[in-house]
Amino acid sequence: MQISVLMPVYNGIPFISEAVESVLAQEFQDWELVISDNGSRDGTRQYLRTLSDPRIRIYEQPLNLGIMGNLNFLLAQARAPIAKLLGHDDLLLAGGLERTAQFMEERPNCAVSRCWALGDEKRYAKGGPLQWEGRLPSRLEPAAAVLAFATFGNLVGNICRAACRPNCVLQAGGFDQKYPSAGDYDAWHRVARTFGIELQNEELVFERIHALQDSNVLNQTNQIYAQVNSILETIAAEVDPSLVKVLKRHWTIHFFSQRSSRFVRQILRGHFSMAASALQDLPLGITAISSLAAYPISKLKLPQSEITTRYLFKKILNTNRVELVVAE
């Protein structure tokens, strides 16, 4: 088979049938679908037991492995050299699987790629909220990729945007379970640090945004913030030391000021300790006060918000060119 579709699920009954159907509906047929149920209690297992297509393999975990543990399990089960990750609440668009397989096969050294979700063409276009990411070259070599993860955060985003070579991801350490909410950011950064990353600028999936999304459920009490802080500390140690001062200002404006609205809401609700956790132990000595003060710059998209992005973007391009020349 050409590609393994890996689907982790936990209590997915509202959406999983649509996700499975989006795989079955693909004209491209050279695939397997591997589903790992992580201890669902909502009827998901009963639904999965009705699936009879021989290309579908189902695993029922006796104990919940956590999201990252479940992803590691799935990577180890893949029988194809290429894998497409698909959340139980997301969908493959028509032709999405074939285009993913073709893209990865044309790039035999690609360990991880990121596609677009429906609607992303506008978001990544000039004037869109992700326009700088949209200007990145289609391949980022390792050092340039690390700087891109430092500049833009999790360059891959939702797991439904990711395709990979499972052996490469596992070789890079897989998904670290000490980051239950941000393990994908950490994992893709480590894979890209070793192998680089490819950006497939095509809309191939539909990413469903809803209240029960893992990213929403797992961050109800700010758990993800400490994990991201730790990941950023690691990334800061990997970039050119001359960029740390710029990164400090960039993260203050674009990463930590974004936490201000939640901080204020939690203060108003009387959740003082929880609110404080959003802006505690920030990397590079960044303070809560500077993060709150930077919120208007980001919210109002003042000209100052573009300065660090432009600078770091140019550094990414220059680093990538140097790495390409060395590789040649």
With a CB cutoff of 8 Å and minimum separation 6, the contacts of 264 are 275
How high is the pLDDT of residue 325?
84
Cα-based angle 257, 223, 233 (whole degrees, multiple of 5): 60
How high is the pLDDT of residue 257?
97
Sign of CA dihedral 117, 12, 187, 108: negative
Closest by CA position to 312, among listed 214, 232, 252, 239: 239
- Percentage of residues in the chain with pLDDT exceeding 90? 91
Q: What does the alpha-carbon distance between residue 269 and residue 261 come to, in Å, rounded to a whole number? A: 13
How high is the pLDDT of residue 182?
96
Q: What does the alpha-carbon distance between residue 167 and residue 82 come to, in Å, rounded to a whole number? A: 9
pLDDT > 60? residue 86: yes
Domains (ranges, CATH) in the chain?
Answer: 3-216 (3.90.550.10), 240-327 (no CATH)
pLDDT > 80? residue 215: no
How high is the pLDDT of residue 190?
98
For residue 12, name the pLDDT band (cuts at 50, 70, 90). Answer: very high
For residue 221, name the pLDDT band (cuts at 50, 70, 90). Answer: confident
